[in-house]
Every structure is written in structure tokens, then in C-alpha cells.
Amino acid sequence: MHRFFTWQHWVGHGFDLLWPPRCVFCGAETEGAGGETRNRGAEVCDGCSRSLASGGSRCSRCGQPGDDDPCGRCNARLGECGGLVVLGTYADAIRDAVLRAKRPTGDLITAGLAALIVAQHGERLRGWHPDLVVPVPMYWTRRLMRGASAADDLARGIAVGLGLPLRRAVRRSRRTAMQNTLPRGERRANVAGAFRAGRGVAGRRVLLVDDVTTTGATLAACSAALLSAGAAAVYAAVAACADTTDST
């Protein structure tokens, strides 16, 4: 056993000398920090960790910025979802990272985002005692056209980071207009009743994962579907939140 680890150490060291680890976001060489800022081979440098994981003070229930906790707008935004963690505001560096993650070649970007979410919010996520991680689903025709689902990849990375199973336990029962093409006031109606959850969630505590949330309507609709299917509790994690001061 000792020989195996010695051999593995030297081979890894040789690879690092020939091909130094690089940050998946900016391409800068890293020191192979590993740990919670590494996920499925995705390294994140200290600079990108600071710029991307800068969500500031937020409500622990609905993720909106501010010092009030709870903020008082939680039920209107997230319905029965028990809590939300947010990596950062949907702007600047994190907006660029999320857009890159949506591409078919964005798997390392999503792995990096997942690693940062676990590093920043791991204690709280584990404190919710989730049994499984579930991605917010994309309608099958849109998934086919896009070739990738950032929510799927992000959920997979978070599941790995937390040591939990990934289950695609929610499906879209009908095609909906893309939320970002609609006025805020129409988004809740657009996704109302659009999701169905399988029986496998009964009695389980679920961590729901999406890449971006704006009004909270999609997370609320998915949470309602999971709870209707018997889930014991639903919580959520997203890479970015498009901050707003309204409750829609």
C-alpha cells in the first residue's frame, strides 16, 4: 500500500511539472490546492474564488441580498422551499461563468462553480441533511437543441462534493416559454404546474439545484411538485441570483 501511494505521488508530481494545474475560469496556473475548491479535476485559483464567491449578506431563506434574515419576502418568492444558498450576484465574472457553463463544452466550468458552492456553503448544505440532489429539469426538446444542461452538470458536481446521490426526480410535463424572455410578473404563471416529481422522493430531503434564479418562480414550482410527491423537505442551491427588490 505504501509503495502504491509513493508511486502515485511521483506520477502526479511529474504531471504537474509537465502540465501545471490551471484555473478553469481564467487559465492561470494554480498550486493544485485540491480540497473543496477542486471538483472532478476542475481547479479554481484564489483570485477567481474571491471574485465569484462574493454573494455578500443574504437572506438564508430566499437568497435575496440584505441584512434582514428572514427578509419578509421569502414565501412570495420561494413558496414552500425551506432555504436557498447563492454563490453570487448574476453580474460580471459570475454571469460570464454561468453563460460559459451553458455551452456543451462547459462541464469544467460547472464543476468549478459546484466546487465553490460546496466550499462556501458546505456547512449549511450539510446542516439541511439532504438525502439526494435533484437538478431543475430542462424540457427534452430544449435539452436536445442545446446539447447540455448547466443545472444537471452543476447538480452532479454538488452531489460529488457532498457525497450524495444525484437523482433526476423532477421532469417538465410541458414546454414553457423561457423565463428570461418574460416580464417578471408573468414568470410564476408560466411555470405553474409545469413540473412533476417521481415517487422516489417520498420521505426524502431534497437539495434542488439550478444555475440561475431571478424571481424564484421555477424553484417554487419545482419545490411544490417535490412536496406534492411526498418529499419531506426541499432546499435549493444556485450559482447566481439576479437580485431584485420586488417579491415576484
The domain ranges of the chain are 55-241
Res. 148 pLDDT band, cuts 50 70 90: confident
User: What is 55-241's CATH topology?
Assistant: Rossmann fold (3.40.50)
- Edge-first strand listing for the sheet containing 233-241: 84-89, 233-241, 205-213, 132-135
* Cβ count within 10 A of residue 103: 13
What pLDDT shows up at residue 64?
76
| pLDDT at position 153 over 90 | yes
Phi, psi values for residue 238, rounded to 5°: -135, 155
| pLDDT tens digits for range 195-243 | 999 989 999 999 999 999 988 889 999 999 999 999 999 999 999 988 6
- State the pLDDT at residue 58: 80
Q: Give the Cα separation of 44 and 108 in Å (integer).
A: 10
pLDDT of residue 181: 64
Cα dist from 97 to 23, 92, 184, 203, whole Å = 12, 9, 23, 35
Report how far apart, in Å, the C-alpha atoms of 222 and of each of 15, 34, 138, 240 are: 43, 33, 12, 18
pLDDT > 50? residue 97:
yes
* Interval 56-65: pLDDT, tens: 678 777 777 7
pLDDT of residue 197: 95
Higher pLDDT, 130 or 15: 130
pTM for this model (two decimals): 0.82
How do residues 158-177 score in pLDDT, each as one tens digit?
999 999 999 999 998 877 76
* Portion of the chain with pLDDT greater than 70, in percent: 79
Higher pLDDT, 20 or 86: 86
Average pLDDT score, the chain: 81
Hey, which residues does 233 pair with through a beta bridge? Answer: 205
User: What pLDDT is stored for residue 47 in this prediction?
Assistant: 87
